[in-house]
Structure 1
Amino acid sequence: MEQNTTSKYYQEALEEYRELCKDEEDAWDKRIDKTGCYVENMALQLCHAETNDWRKCLGEMALFRKCWDSKGNRDRVSTVDRK
């Protein structure tokens, strides 16, 4: 499946991220931003919020997964101490 960085959700998320960078982030946004996949995560969330169906967001999901894996996040979360 081809990665769709031109989806309306991705573009909306990118614009939101640019605005967020101008403002002070809250703790949740900082955690997501540190993954390096903030825009991809937001695009997936926007898609699901609008469609209410994950199956309609497969492109956004694939883009997020690719970003997540490419940034080494799979290794990072396995080291988190879960108390």
Structure 2
Amino acid sequence: MVDEKMAAHLNTAETVTFALKPGRHLMTATVLEASGLCALGVTKAAIARQRSIEILVDVDTTRKYRLSYPTVDSSPVIEPAF
């Protein structure tokens, strides 16, 4: 989600680009559902976990972030990517 609005549904190895206005934005990642091998051992508590970070968008600047789930029962990780 971006600024508390659903912005994308991503599967493994997918990428997405957002054209955001300059300023502060809130980026949130959460598991909505899991399928295939990723669903093994997934609990409702894991699906309910989410992680949010505040990002600052500058004019004419591209910022990249990486989203990952270290383990099935962990919260997502959103970190800058270079």
Query: Fold conserved (TM > 0.5)?
Result: no
TM range (shorter): under 0.3
Query: What is the TM-score normalised by the length of structure 1?
Result: 0.24
Q: Going by fraction, where is helix more abundant, 1 or 2?
A: 1
